[in-house]
Amino acid sequence: MNRHYVPYVICFVVSIGLFQFVHAQVLNTDKTAGLDSTKKIQSIISLAIATDQQKKSLVDLFYAGDFTFIGKNNATTLYTKIDRVTNGGQSIQDVGTFQLKHNHSIGKHFYWESFLQYQWDGGLGLESRSLAGMNLVHYFKNTQTEDFFLGAGMFLEKEDWNWSAVNDETFIHNTPIHITHPKLNLTAKYSFINPTNNFEVIIRAFNQSGWYEKQFSNRTSVFTTLQFPISKRLSTSFNIDFLYDTAPIVPIDHFHYNYAQSLSFSF
């Protein structure tokens, strides 16, 4: 095969797991069983760097981190994620999320969850999205192996959208849209871990609804993680995310998905 079609590829991927008092590859920060133990801090950090030497240099930088601080009947979690891909200096993907969440009076069937969040997604034209809100959460299952809850609440959201992801190029130079409005929030999560082989599945769903320019808007997102241990310190995970928006702020596709597979090493 012509070498023009088989470019020299150098791929260097580093995955680092930093664990403090925790024995799982994926930090399930919504699990509240056993939080009254002496485990006060849980954390995991993943880093990845990939390069592909073609006519233009492709660089993929990925970072994700979970940090949970556990008090008496409460827990505070900081989740961070940045994924940036450039080709020849041009941005192909630029996604970031910062979320701070505090669970009040956990361990009961009902408890309050307050949260702050800031994110962006350059591929969709989302320059920034900041929100603050609160949910009332009800646990149906809360054991060491199984977790199931439903929650409902509301939040105030501020979004800034540009037109870079709109297919019609005549909109590219339109003035960005800035909106601030309240939304209702429904959330659900189910997780299960097999105590024999530590296989874990986590499914988290959000449904957010509100009004924009006299039109009802509904966003549904689902995040799924499948975790497969390979050895005591090595594991692999499959992550699939879905997003469906009935009324996007700018005319982009209603449905989006993302798939990622990762390899983690803990020490």
Q: Is the Cβ–Cβ distance between 224 and 241 less than 8 Å?
A: yes
- Mean predicted lDDT score pLDDT of the chain: 80
* pLDDT of amino acid 1: 43
**CATH number of the domain that residue 43 is part of:** 2.40.160
Q: How far apart are the first and last CA of the chain?
A: 42
Task: Give residue 105's pLDDT band: very low, low, confident or very high (50, 70, 90).
Answer: low
Distance CA 54, CA 51 (A): 9
Question: What's the whole-number mean pLDDT along residues 243-253?
Answer: 93
Q: Which residues contact 183 (CB under 8 A, 6 or more apart)?
A: 154, 155, 156, 157, 208, 209, 210
Convert the pLDDT of each residue in 5-27 to its tens digit: 333 333 333 333 333 333 333 44
- Counting every residue written for the chain, the total comes to 267
Q: Considering its fold, how many domains does the chain have in total?
A: 1
The two tokens of residue 50 are: 């990939």
Reported as type and span, the H/E element at residue 144 is: none
E strands along the chain, which residues? 41-53, 57-71, 74-87, 90-104, 110-121, 126-142, 146-161, 177-193, 200-212, 215-229, 234-245, 255-265
Question: What's the whole-number mean pLDDT along residues 244-261?
Answer: 90
Q: Is the Cβ–Cβ distance between 114 and 141 less than 8 Å?
A: no
Provide long-range contacts, Cβ within 8 A and 24+ apart, for 81-85: 84/60, 85/58, 85/59, 85/60, 85/61
* pLDDT of amino acid 52: 67
3-state secondary structure of 4: helix
Closest CA to 237 of 20, 12, 64: 64
Taking 90 as the threshold, does the pLDDT of residue 160 lie above it? yes
Distance CA 199, CA 217 (A): 37
How open is the CA angle 41-262-165, to the nearest 5 degrees? 105
Domain range for 236: 3-265
Q: Is the Cβ–Cβ distance between 187 and 208 less than 8 Å?
A: no
DSSP 109: S
- For the whole model, what pTM was predicted? 0.76
Convert the pLDDT of each residue in 55-86 to its tens digit: 567 888 888 888 888 877 788 889 898 989 88
Convert the pLDDT of each residue in 177-212 to its tens digit: 999 999 999 999 999 988 888 888 999 999 999 988
